[in-house]
Each structure stands twice: as C-alpha cells, then as structure tokens.
Amino acid sequence: MKTRMRFSLLAVLFALTGMTTMVQADDIGKPVTPPRYQETLYPPWSHGANNPALEKGLEFTVPEVDDLPDFHGSINDPQLVIFVGGNYYFAMAPLVHAFEAEHPRIRGRIYYETLPPGILEKQMRAGNTITVGNMTWTVAPDVYAAGLGKVKHLIESGMLLAPAVPYVTNDLTIMVPKGNPAGIRSVADLGKPGVRVVMPNPKWEGIASRAMSTLRKAGGPALEKTVYVSKVKSGQTVLTHIHHRQSPLFLMQGLADAGITWKSEAIFQEQIGHPISNVDIAARNNTTAIYASAVVKNAPHPRWAKAWVEFLRSPTALKVFQRYGFKPYEGKH
C-alpha cells in the first residue's frame, strides 16, 4: 500500500514538473522582437566605396568595431597626400575621382585623411605620425585644407607655403533627427532645459568657434554659456571629438535632440537616406566659413600638390561641391 502511494506521489510530481517545463517552453517560444544591430548607422557610411586604392587585398571592415572611416587609400608610396578638414569628407571621393580622370597617371595613388583641422595640425606637429587603436603609421602631407583663417595661421607659423587659396563657402544649420521630435525651431531652443545637445569641441574643431559665435548672436553670452558650460556640466550637452561622424550618429541613436553642424553635412545625411533633417538658422545669426587650401612646406610631391590646389577652384570641382550646398567663393583671391 505504502509502495503504491509512493509511486502515485512520484507520478504526480513528474506530471507537475512536466507541466512546469511545458509552461516555460511555451513562454520561451512566444514571439518577441529581437534586438537589431543597426549596422548602417555606423561609419564608414560609404561602405568602402570611397577608398581610392586600386589594390585593396583582403577587405575586412566591421562597423563600430574595426573601421577607419576618415583614412582613405593606401600609404604604400602615394603620389599625393591630402589632409583635409573632415566637414566635406563626403565630397572627397567624387573630387578625387574627377581629379584622377584629368590626371590618369596618379590614379590609385592618392591618400587622404578627413579629420578635424586641429587634429590634422597635431598629427603634422607629431612628425606626421598618428595612432588609431593599436595601429601607428606615418605619412607626410602634400596639401592641407581647412578654414581660411586656419590655413593662413599655419602659413604664418611656417608649416604651409603661401598662398592660401580659397574655393568655397559653407553655412551652419541645426541638425536634428528626422521628424524633429524635440520641436527645435531656432538656435535659442538649444539652451532650453531638457534639450539634449551635441556640439563640436572647441579644443580641436574649427566649427566650434563659429557655433559659439552663432549662439552669441542668437542669445548673447548667456546662451553660449548655457550650452557650452552649464549644460556640459549637467550632461545635457555632449562635446564631440569628431563632430562630422559623432553628431549625426548620436542623433540617430537617440542620444541627443539637436546639434549645430555645417549645412553640407546635414544635406549629405539626408541624401544617403539617414533619418536626419535640419533646421535653418536665421541669416542674422548664422556664420559663413571660407574654405581654403595650401601646399605643405617640404611637400614630398609638390607638383601634384599644386595641381590639387588649383583643381579645387575649377568648374569641375565646384560642381561637386554644389551637390552638397557649398557655394563658390567669390571674394578676392
């Protein structure tokens, strides 16, 4: 009798265990929305198409993990090396392609970097050597391109050769996520409590001084202090290392509501289908930049350097720039 009762109890326990297992299996099997890795949000947004090197060997790029989106081409005996401020990185590939079409001998022999002008200057002062992650390399530039004031400064300091050659202009805008969920309407809105802002870092990004000027025009020193001091301390303003990559990325990731960038950068993001839009800045508050280039002192390839500097003012080059909202420089050269 006791034996039968013991078996009955065991049977009940096994049954209950089975039911529990079934419930758990059913719970695990319910449809859920799996986490999605949005690879297309991360640089390089060109997916390798902007690499001018002809012999690429093994292609190994993992967005957000192993990628170098602002370094283009091969450092194996290049014949033209260009250091250019990163705010028109997207225009460089078609510019290089057009230049190579005019000068077939140099095809596949161009290397260029699209970093903030201050970072490029630091690289030049460090013996033209740079380290990214675990990789270190040295490459001597032939041409340096940035804002006109920066180029003139480096000519005066002896790093570049005169003249500084201007070619296009650009204006600022407020970059926002598509749909503008925070309802940003003007520069003054960037100072509102709760509005999360991503802004260029004045330590090495030339655009920062122009963004600060725009803030002062729109709301006086108080607005500049709110955005660049008070909100930095509170965490409502994030300062970038490289705004032309980080600003759109932070906006697409939902980490920020708005940020001041160049108009051309916002136009490019919209052109490639990213969920980005922009809010115009009133002309009275906006700041216009003049872009210029110059040959680097002791450039390894002075002939090609001069050819590139001249090319940037050509109708062919200006047509490329105009795709992204740049305007030809019309001042005195």
Residue with tokens 């950068």: 265
- From residue 310, alpha-carbon distances to 80, 192, 223, 276 in Å are 14, 45, 41, 34
Q: Find, among 277, 254, 253, the residue nearest to 265 by Cα.
A: 277
Sequence spans of domains, the chain: 39-168+291-328, 170-280
The contacts of residue 141 (CB under 8 Å, 6+ apart) are 81, 82, 83, 113, 120, 124, 128, 296, 299
Q: Tell me whether domains 39-168+291-328 and 170-280 share a fold.
A: yes
CB atoms within 10 A of CB 155: 19
Per-residue model confidence as pLDDT tens digits over 191-214: 999 999 999 999 989 899 999 999
The model carries a pTM of: 0.85
pLDDT at residue number 319:
98
* DSSP code for 275: S
Q: Read off φ and ψ for residue 295, nearest 5 degrees.
A: -80, 140
Strand pairing report for 197-199 and 129-132? unpaired
For residue 78, the model assigns a pLDDT of 98
Each residue of 132-175: pLDDT tens digit?
Answer: 999 999 999 999 999 999 999 999 999 999 999 999 999 999 99
Dihedral angle of Cα 315, 317, 320, 326, to the nearest 10 degrees? -90
3-class DSSP assignment, residue 138:
strand
**DSSP single-letter state for residue 296:** B
Check: CATH 3.40.190.10 for 170-280? yes
How confident is the prediction along the chain (333 residues), in pLDDT tens digits per residue?
444 444 444 444 444 444 444 444 445 556 766 555 566 677 767 777 888 999 989 988 887 788 899 999 999 999 999 999 998 999 999 999 999 999 999 999 999 999 999 999 999 999 999 999 999 999 999 999 999 999 999 999 999 999 999 999 999 999 999 999 999 999 999 999 999 999 999 998 989 999 999 999 999 999 999 999 999 999 999 999 999 999 999 999 999 999 999 999 999 999 999 999 999 999 999 999 999 999 999 999 999 999 999 999 999 999 999 999 999 999 875
What is the CATH code for 39-168+291-328? 3.40.190.10
